[in-house]
Structure 1
Amino acid sequence: MITRDIKAFVSHARTLAQDFGPPTARGAFLISPDGFCLAHESATDNRYMADATRFDAACATSEHHELHRALSEVVPTICFPGHDDTPDALFPNNVFATAEGRYIVGRMRHPVRQREAARDDIRAFFAGVLDYAEIDLSDQAHPCELTGSMVIDRGRGIGFCGLSERCDEVGAQLMHEAFGLRATLLFDLAPGEYHTNVVLALLAGRAALVCPRGFADPGVVEAVQDFYAPHAIVLSDAEHAAFAGNAIALSRDVAWMSAGAERALTPATRAALDAASFTVRAVPLDAIEAAGGSLRCCVAELY
């Protein structure tokens, strides 16, 4: 099922057991912020990006190294080098994603990011080292920026796909098929939002962090709240702006986010995460966040 019908989606999703696959990844990979600078094409539809004067390459590299070290304590985490001609490559989850036995290459909207999909070394890692089959969506016309646009509950095999300039309906259908999902809900992001994973996080299929202002239709927010109750956590505008919605669980009991996001958490949000049996771990990413993404954007998952 792939639909815009919220009631039909929720009704079907409620029938699905959490037996589609593991709820969290078995590993992760990163791409270092080599060539870190303002990507002017990306800035045209990413309101979170700072101006060029706030890009500090040395600080971003130091932060990224600490992120790599921290994640490696939880799951095996590898890091590929970046390149000077791909300044946004430190956000690889938009370009590369995995499902059981296969890897998916996305179609990026902007040419500066389309270059990332041509990385022979990363493709060789998936195909030659992991022996994954390839699903290459990068050479078709419809934008589909993978787990930036599609937030997936891996245990149930369901997706929440926000449409914007970064993903259209055909692209969503292609991703739905590539991930082999049981059901996907399509909806429009609010004007000014570019990726779903900035406004929605699903933590190990057990809890949700949702930023209401990121959705054009309040009904989608209500559906997420209802489906993931009692652990659906509605974030404030301040938490949203600090990237608290750009979180990820790489194990069943830890929610990862940036230090700035963690500082913005309200007492109610902290209590709700605790009630869902999640500990928050945070990594300073102030320099990286100047590029318009945060911790979850930096992490591509290995399933």
Structure 2
Amino acid sequence: MITRDAAAFLESARRCAPDFGPATAKAAFLVAPDGFAHAAESAGDNRYMAAPDGFDRARALHQHRRLQAALSADVPVVCFPGHPGMPDGVFPNNVFATAPQRLVVGRMRHPVRRREATRGDIRGFFAKVLGYGEIDLSTQEHPCELTGALVIDRARGLGFCGLSERCDEAGAALMHRALGLRATWLFDLAAGEYHTNVLLALLAGRAALSCADGFAEPAQVEVVLEALYGPHVIRLSAAEQAAFAGNAIALSAQRVWMSQRALDALSDASRDALVAAGFVAGGVELDAIEAAGGSLRCCVAEIF
């Protein structure tokens, strides 16, 4: 089912056992920031992006190499080269997502990002190396920026999709079907927010990091998350959100990754809550990449 009705979603979600698939990915891929630069189109609806003079490509490349090395402690991590003319290409999770044995290619709102969907090397890797089928949503008209807009509980097959200019209801329905989810809840993001994964992280199917003020109806989101993930719902403060603590990912059952800036911003209560949920937190310096308006989670395209 796919619905805007929180009560209907919750009723369905409570019946979903954690047997949909692995809670965490078997591998991941990144795209290096070789073409990294300020993208004026993307800046139009991404309030987290720095000014054009705040971009340092050499530092971004160095930090990105360290990111790949760090994540490789948990899963195999492939890195594709970046391309000139694709300044946001460092965030491939908005363009590519996977379910077992299939690649989904999303449709980006901005033309500068639609170029990324044409990459034959990434599509070829999944088709020719991994033998995956492909569902191509990139040529239809509805924006659906994949795991930027859609946060997924992979253990139970649940989707949490924040609607904004980056994803409309029709695009959400396309993603829901393409990924084969059991139930997806649609809700509006607060004014000025562009992606759900800056505000919400579901960690290995058993815990949630939530920045409630980023949702149009925060109390409703709180009720749903508490019902499904309590007592391991970690409510992040405005300061933690601003440092990208909500843009985190678990690539194993024992560890959550976020940028070093995010990790440093965590309160003692948030740190203790992660430990109580069974996670060690790892951080990687990514301030140069965060200038583009995204952080660690945005860099990681999961392979299931």
Q: Helix, strand or coil for the counterpart of 1:104?
A: strand
- The corresponding residue for 1:259 is 260
Q: Can you give the 5+ residue segments of structure 1 that lack an aligned partner in the other structure?
A: none
Which one is further off, 224-233 or 207-216?
224-233
Following superposition, the deviation at residue 222 of structure 1 comes to: 2.4
1:143-158 equivalent positions in 2, closer than 5 A: 143-158=143-158
- The corresponding residue for 2:208 is 208
Q: Helix, strand or coil for the counterpart of 1:252?
A: coil
Q: Helix, strand or coil for the counterpart of 1:186?
A: strand
Between the two proteins, what is the percent identity of the paired residues? 67
Q: Is the 8 A contact 1:226 1:232 kept in 2?
A: no
Following superposition, the deviation at residue 72 of structure 1 comes to: 1.1
What amino acid sits opposite 2:207 in the alignment?
A: A
CA-based RMSD: 0.5
TM-score (norm 2): 0.99
CA distance in 2, matches of 1:286, 1:187: 30
- The corresponding residue for 1:279 is 280
1:167-178 equivalent positions in 2, closer than 5 A: 167-178=167-178
What amino acid sits opposite 1:125 in the alignment?
A: F
- The corresponding residue for 2:239 is 238
- The corresponding residue for 1:53 is 53
| Residues 1:229 and 2:241 aligned together | no
CA distance in 2, matches of 1:170, 1:104: 16
| Residues 1:132 and 2:117 aligned together | no
Q: Can you give the 5+ residue segments of structure 2 that lack an aligned partner in the other structure?
A: none
- The corresponding residue for 2:37 is 37
- The corresponding residue for 1:120 is 120
Q: Is the 8 A contact 1:153 1:204 kept in 2?
A: yes
How many residues matched?
A: 303
- The corresponding residue for 2:5 is 5
Following superposition, the deviation at residue 223 of structure 1 comes to: 1.3
What do residues 153-193 of structure 1 show as CA deviations (whole Å, max 9, x unaligned)? 00000000000000000000000000000000000000010
CA distance in 2, matches of 1:8, 1:222: 13
CA distance in 1, matches of 2:53, 2:16: 49
Q: Is the 8 A contact 1:29 1:300 kept in 2?
A: yes
Following superposition, the deviation at residue 32 of structure 1 comes to: 0.1
What amino acid sits opposite 2:24 in the alignment?
A: T
Detail structure 1 runs of 4+ shifted over 3 Å in the superposition. none
CA distance in 2, matches of 1:201, 1:103: 22
What amino acid sits opposite 2:159 in the alignment?
A: G
Following superposition, the deviation at residue 55 of structure 1 comes to: 0.3
Q: Is the 8 A contact 1:151 1:159 kept in 2?
A: yes
CA distance in 2, matches of 1:43, 1:54: 13
